[in-house]
């Protein structure tokens, strides 16, 4: 699916856009890996389990632009679609989510455009995750481009639930039977309870380890 542009260099422009967004994912990914390594060095603990990244497909971008009522141009894509470049950070515990978000916010070359906390305010479906839209500077040979990246931070349990919900959404094209939606909400509650129990258990283990080290 092609984007319409004002110039004859549409293909080159599209390639350049993808280059910029791919570079933005590398920049954010590298920053997160460094922060994770530093945290391990200082605290003997890794808050990040793993990182996933992706570039939105042209079909998905066009679909989103049509949903917003915009023409499918590269200019509109860059201006109105905030999640072309997406990176997902998977943590062990809910406390790690806010710790990582805080560390990202302290990076002086990252600008936070918006935050949506679906952990404190879950979606009606039960979806939980912490979303940030940020910009990161990409240094090209002749200029600096600020590229937008959507960062999603969630626990392993939240990610497992979201993966299943995503599959069900596409399986039924957004119109899943009510009983399946209800079961998903129940599962979301179980996931929240599991996260809370695992966090409590981890804090207890850390406390006992600290006491043993002091003896």
| pLDDT on residue 6 | 42
> What would the CATH number be for the domain defined by 10-158?
3.30.460.10
| pLDDT on residue 94 | 94
Q: How many other C-beta atoms are found inside a 10 Å radius of the C-beta of residue 172?
A: 12
CB 25 within 8 A of CB 149: yes
Per-residue pLDDT of the chain (215 residues; tens, 9 = 90+): 333 444 444 445 888 899 999 999 999 999 999 999 998 888 788 899 999 999 999 999 999 999 999 999 888 999 999 999 999 999 999 999 999 999 999 999 999 999 999 999 999 999 999 999 999 999 988 889 999 999 999 999 999 999 999 999 888 877 889 999 999 999 999 999 999 999 999 888 888 876 666 66
Extents of the domains making up the chain: 10-158
CB 128 within 8 A of CB 122: yes
CB 54 within 8 A of CB 86: yes
CB 130 within 8 A of CB 118: yes
The reported pTM is: 0.88
DSSP-derived pairing of the beta strands 85-91 and 144-155:
parallel
DSSP-derived pairing of the beta strands 48-55 and 130-139:
unpaired
């Amino acid at each position: 699916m092609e984007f319409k542009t004002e110039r004859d260099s549409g293909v080159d422009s599209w390639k350049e856009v993808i280059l910029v967004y791919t570079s933005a994912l590398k920049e954010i990914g590298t920053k997160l890996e460094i922060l994770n390594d530093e945290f391990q060095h200082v605290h003997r603990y890794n808050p990040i389990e793993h990182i996933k990244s992706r570039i939105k497909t042209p079909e998905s971008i066009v679909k989103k632009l049509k949903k917003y009522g915009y023409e499918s141009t590269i200019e509109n894509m860059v201006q109105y679609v905030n999640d072309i470049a997406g990176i997902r950070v998977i943590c062990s515990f809910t406390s790690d989510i806010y710790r990582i978000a805080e560390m990202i916010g302290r990076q002086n070359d990252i600008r936070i455009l918006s935050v949506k906390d679906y952990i404190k305010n879950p979606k009606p479906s039960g979806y939980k995750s912490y979303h940030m839209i940020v910009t990161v500077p990409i240094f090209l040979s002749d200029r600096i481009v600020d590229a937008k990246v959507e960062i999603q931070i969630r626990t392993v349990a939240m990610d497992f639930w979201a993966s299943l919900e995503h599959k069900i959404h596409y399986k039924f094209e957004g119109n899943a039977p009510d009983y399946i939606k209800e079961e998903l909400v129940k599962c979301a509650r179980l996931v929240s309870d599991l996260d809370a129990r695992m966090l409590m258990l981890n804090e207890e283990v850390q406390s006992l380890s600290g006491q043993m080290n002091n003896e």
